[in-house]
Chains A and B, each alone.
Chain A
Amino acid sequence: MPEFTKPYESRWQAFLLLLPTFAVLIAFLYYPGVETFRLSLQQTILLGTRKTFVGLENYATLATSSAYHWSFAISVAFAAVVVVGTLVASLFVAYLLFQVDVGSSTYLIAAIWPYALPTAVAASVLLFLLHPSLGIITYVLESLTGTSLDWFTNGPQAFAIVAVVAIWKQLGYNIIFMVASLNNIPETLTESAKLDGVGHLKMLYRVYVPLMSPTLVFLVVMNTIYAFFQTFPLVDLMTSGGPNEATNLLIFKLYRDAFEFSNLGLASAESVVLFAIVAILMYVQLRLSESYTTYA
């Protein structure tokens, strides 16, 4: 048996090698985390220059605030739409990419391009394209459907537009993983199904999806995190939480409470709650998926 070669010579050396990682984690994750929690137990004015300890009062305020309840409800709805929408849309695009023989890498690049754009840039560009009175996409949609789109004033429309943009932005990320996962499925399974005459859709949901399930679970978790945390620039640039609070997601609301209304204590409490919600959701997702996932 070959002797196990240690990559380091002493515990100290090991510690030194780990130090940079831990330093970054501590400075930018754990310390701010603890600080946020501490802040959430305080009342602050003037961006935290004066603080008083108030215990759980901030949490109590959130629990009784109808504005917060609303924000919570639309954030969950938004996350559900974005997670499901992203998965379904990416799955079909990925499946088509997987099946195409000619120019597949060109298609793949085209499909993952949106992901390469910074979210803020994408939001600005789409704001133009989807502008209620100037946008070219809006114009086409309106002339095709005969409806009038005015998502600057119509709440449900604004919610839908932001959700669609959020899905569009996340497609590339999902497609990369899905195509990789599809390519990992042994080709003989596909060939065997061809000989049996199994249809494409049946093959997708009876064979490919079950075999991709570990990747899909991972993507559900990543998309959930994305929908709750990383959609801030979209809301900020496109709707600023409006119209009529229709897109005032938790992540945007806590930013506003902190930096527009200077209520750092309350915003910190919102931050902690949001973290808890996502943590619980991830736990539930992973537990539920365990029984359905095939790790072949």
Chain B
Amino acid sequence: MSDIHIDGLTKEFDDVTAVDDISFDVDSGEFLVLVGPSGCGKSTTLRMIAGLEDITSGELRIGERRVNELAPKERNIAMVFQNYALYPHMTSAENMKFGMKSVSDYTSEEINERVRKAADILDIPELLDRKPSELSGGERQRVAIGRAIVREPDVFLLDEPLSNLDAKLRVQMRAELLQLHRELDATTVYVTHDQTEAMTLGDRVAVLNDGQIEQVDPPQMLYDFPDTRFVAEFIGSPAMNIVPIDLAFGDGAVAHHESFELSLPNPELFTERPDSAYFGVRPEDVSLVDNVAGDPETFEAEVSVTEPLGESLLVHCLLGGDELHVKAEARTELDAGDTVELCVDEERLHVFDDAGDAIYHSSPRGETVSDAAETQVEP
């Protein structure tokens, strides 16, 4: 197993900069997820690590070795592709052996032994003699992962491996991937556009946008303390509410919006004090006042649409010219046009400046995430 060091990595295609000076490390045995919208450069980054794309500038090291100039085969990595990339005319076993056989220093007993072991780990011994066309999508992806395992590489790279599977299978494979990662303890870089996958799988998650890294943190940290407005809106579903506010700083800090006024706790946590900014709060941190004990600061809003999600009710409220999504209790009786009284969880408020950077979280960073890293690895 090796760690990966990425320092100032840049990739330019003709006049487009796909990856723009990004730096991060992946620790030995860590599961790092690269997540971002289409075209953000996450796949390009992965392909540069694999050696399938040339590096325009910056340095890539695997272990202590600089690998910028090394051919893919010399980097000792294995990659799993979205479309599985299995050879359709070979059986599963042949698919798993094919790459091994081109590396001459393995005997066929060794290869067979490794294939058998990998098949056991993935629970696919009965599929070894079948061709890809006789396998389901999930089985194919298992064979593709098996092919990566038999190589015993320093680094596993996975490029949207679950995107071609149906929703139910995706959830199941997600859990299996986690279990597999714990068994193999392999350094893994995983690319996905799906923030749920990123949250559930990653030891840490790197959010990319427009060729740049927005934030690299454990999933709960990303969720609770987004560094930027982009991360705040990208991570979490339904997305965080963001509304423009004016800020007034006196004894405390007060957020003014055309339809509410809210004093923000812990004003000393503001890193900047601009006059206007953006106020962020997650839908589950806004409540209907009827459901809250005590005497919180409240404000009124008008219901425009309600969406039953089953376990909860997503209420779209009009707040002056802005929309606010509220996760209310399931089966709450609300209709469009009703006026509701709302309040927010004071510990879970965020403020972003005009440039999109976070300048305030209402709780000190690190308080609510102490045990996040442990809980998130449970499948």
Q: Which residues of A contact B (CB under 8 A)?
A: 186, 188-189, 191-199, 202, 206-207, 210-211, 294, 296
Is the beta-carbon distance between A196 and B88 smaller than 8 angstroms?
no
Q: Which residues from A are CB-within-8-Å of B102? A: 196-199, 202
Chain A interface: which of B72-80, B244-252, B268-276? B72-80
Is the CB–CB distance between A197 and B89 below 8 Å?
Answer: no
> In chain B between 300 and 348, which residues have their CB closer than 8 angstroms to a CB of chain A?
none
Q: Which residues of B contact A195 (CB under 8 A)?
A: 50-52, 72-73, 77-79, 99
Asked, given contacts A189-B87, A296-B133, whether A194 binds B98 with beta carbons under 8 Å apart, the answer is no
Contact A207 B151 (CB under 8 A): no
Q: In the complex, what residues of A have CB within 8 A of residue B74's CB?
A: 197
Quick one: which of B50, B82, B85, B98 contacts A206, CB cutoff 8 A?
A: B98
B363 located at the interface, meaning its Cβ lies under 8 Å from any Cβ of chain A in the complex: no
Residue ID in chain A nearest B83 by CB atoms: A188
Q: List 11 A-B contacts (CB under 8 A).
A: A192-B85, A194-B71, A195-B50, A195-B72, A195-B99, A197-B71, A197-B72, A199-B102, A211-B87, A296-B89, A296-B133
Q: Provide the bound-state CA to CA distance between A120 and B211, in Å.
A: 58
Residue of B nearest to A293 (CB): B89
Residue of A192, A202, A206, A296 near B79 (CB, 8 A) is: A192
Whether A186 lies near B89 (C-beta < 8 A) is: no
Interface residues as binary, B45-89 with A (CB distance below 8 Å gives 1, 0 otherwise): 000001110000000000000000001111001110111110111
The answer to whether A188 touches B81 (Cβ under 8 A) is yes
Q: Report yes or no: B85 in contact with A211, Cβ–Cβ below 8 A.
A: no
CA distance A129 to B74 in the complex (A): 48
In the complex, which residues of chain B have a beta carbon less than 8 angstroms from the beta carbon of A191? 50, 52, 72, 79, 81, 85
Give the residues in chain A near B147, CB-CB below 8 Å: 192
Q: Which of B71, B82, B85 contacts A189 (CB 8 A)?
A: B85
| Cα(A195)–Cα(B88), bound, Å | 18
CB-defined contacts of A211 to chain B, threshold 8 Å: 87-89
B89 A196 Cβ-Cβ under 8 A: no
Residues of A near B98 (CB, < 8 A) are 193, 196, 198, 206
| A-B CB contacts (within 8 Å), total count | 66
Q: How far is it, in angstroms, between the C-alpha of A207 and the C-alpha of B89 when the chains are bound?
A: 8
How many residues of B are in contact with the other chain, CB < 8 A? 26
6 tightest CB-CB pairs across the interface, nearest first? Answer: A196-B99, A197-B73, A296-B88, A188-B85, A294-B89, A192-B85
Given the contacts A195-B50, A198-B98, A186 and B151 also touching, CB distance less than 8 Å: no
A82 to B73, CA, bound (A): 39
Q: Is B103 an interface residue (CB 8 A)?
A: yes
12 further A-B contacts with Cβ under 8 Å, apart from A194-B71, A194-B72, A202-B102, are A188-B83, A188-B84, A191-B50, A192-B79, A192-B147, A194-B51, A194-B73, A195-B77, A196-B73, A196-B103, A206-B98, A296-B133
Chain A residue numbers with a CB within 8 Å of B50 are: 191, 195
A239 to B151, CA, bound (A): 59
Interface centre among B74, B79, B89, B100 (most CB of A within 10 A): B89
Distance of B13 from chain A, by nearest CB (Å): 13
Known contacts A194-B52, A296-B133: does B99 contact A186 (CB below 8 Å)? no
Give the complex CA separation of A188 and B89 in angstroms.
15
- Is A196's CB under 8 angstroms from B151's CB? yes
Q: How far is the CB of B372 from chain A (nearest CB, A)?
A: 34
Q: From residue A210, how far is it (CB to closest CB) to chain B in Å?
A: 4
A216 to chain B, nearest CB (A): 13
| Contact residues in B for A189 (Cβ distance below 8 Å) | 85, 87
* Bound complex: CA A152 to CA B224 (Å): 88
Q: With a CB–CB cut-off of 8 A, which chain B residues contact A194? A: 51-52, 71-73
Contacts of B52 in A (CB 8 A): 191, 194-195
- Given contacts A198-B102, A199-B102, A210 and B89 within 8 Å (CB-CB): yes
A133 CB to nearest B CB, Å: 52
Nearest residue in A to B82 (C-beta to C-beta)? Answer: A188
A138→B77 CA distance, assembly (Å): 53
> Are B81 and A192 in touch, CB under 8 angstroms?
yes
Q: How far is the CA of A198 from the CA of B89 in the complex (A)?
A: 17
Residues in B neighbouring A294, C-beta threshold 8 A: 88-89
Q: How far is the CA of A165 from the CA of B222 in the complex (A)?
A: 69
Whether B83 lies near A186 (C-beta < 8 A) is yes
B73-117 to A contact mask, C-beta < 8 Å, 1/0: 110011101111101110000000011101100000000000000
**Shortest distance from the beta carbon of B258 to any chain A beta carbon, whole Å:** 50
Measured between beta carbons, the chain B residues less than 8 angstroms from A196 are 73, 98-100, 102-103, 151
Q: Are B81 and A198 in contact (CB under 8 A)?
A: no
The answer to whether B99 and A198 have CB atoms under 8 Å apart is yes
The CA of A196 and the CA of B74, in the complex, are separated in Å by 9
A195-B78, A198-B99 are contacts. A186–B85 as well, Cβ < 8 Å?
yes
Within the complex, what minimum Cβ distance (angstroms) separates A42 from chain B?
A: 52
Give min CB distance, B62 to chain A, whole Å. Answer: 13
A188: chain B residues at CB < 8 Å are 81-85
Contact A192/B99 with A186-B83, A197-B73, A296-B133 known, Cβ cut-off 8 Å: yes
A207 and B102 alpha carbons, distance in the complex (Å): 13
A186-B98 Cα distance, complex, nearest whole Å:
17
Chain B residues, Cβ within 8 Å of A296? 88-89, 133
